[in-house]
Chains A and B, each alone.
Chain A
Amino acid sequence: QQPVQSPQAVILREGEDAVINCSSSKALYSVHWYRQKHGEAPVFLMILLKGGEQKGHEKISASFNEKKQQSSLYLTASQLSYSGTYFCGTEAQAGTALIFGKGTTLSVSS
């Protein structure tokens, strides 16, 4: 089942902060975050595993609430380069396929 992302779209000025949320109705092993620029392939940002392990981008942080099956991506002091569509992907058990949400479009202007 597809995870639910919110909001659908965010408009920011440079330097502002944003939070993108992802929730699932199923118990999760991991949550992934990817960013896609227009006309390009999605690129990995962050992975959070059940149990606390995480790996990802230096300037982007995320959290994973295992009890609520929710994850949030925190974009602080946004830059123009942050613009794009952000997808969360959820993995129900280790080694199963990632199911992605519908995406959140982030637009950052100067």
Chain B
Amino acid sequence: NAGVTQTPKFQVLKTGQSMTLQCAQDMNHNSMYWYRQDPGMGLRLIYYSASEGTTDKGEVPNGYNVSRLNKREFSLRLESAAPSQTSVYFCATRTGGSGANVLTFGAGSRLTVL
């Protein structure tokens, strides 16, 4: 039972290159999220998917695209990476809906854009 798995763990890109961060969960959760974490800024929401087939923008969506491939998988794509996208990216999931359902985070993906 792996929980939430993110790949890759580390990546170095050059400005203008593209890449996709993958997130997969085996918790049967409906909702999935992508956050980025920068020093002093906390966790900022990039995109989320409340349920399979839906995606919505968060606080900082510019420069990113997402795909909710199926219930298990939610990917984040950088089409043309910029140095400002250097960050640690976390995928998180939860049951969704009402009630006391909490976020489970993946281990994170550290991205450096040169």
Contact = CB atoms under 8 A, between A and B. Distances in A.
B97 A94 contact: yes
Interface in A77-110: 87, 89, 94-103
B103 A32 contact: yes
Interface residues of A, number: 27
Nearest to A104: B42
Contact of A47 (B35, B98, B102, B107): B102
Given A34-B103, A53-B100, A89-B103, A95 B50 contact: yes
Given A41-B90, A102-B42, A47 B105 contact: no
Interface residues of B, number: 27
Main secondary structure of the interface of B (DSSP, over half): loop
B74 interface: no
A55 B59 CA distance: 27
Nearest to A88: B42
A103 B25 CA distance: 26
B113 interface: no
6 contacts: A34-B103, A42-B43, A43-B105, A44-B102, A96-B50, A97-B58
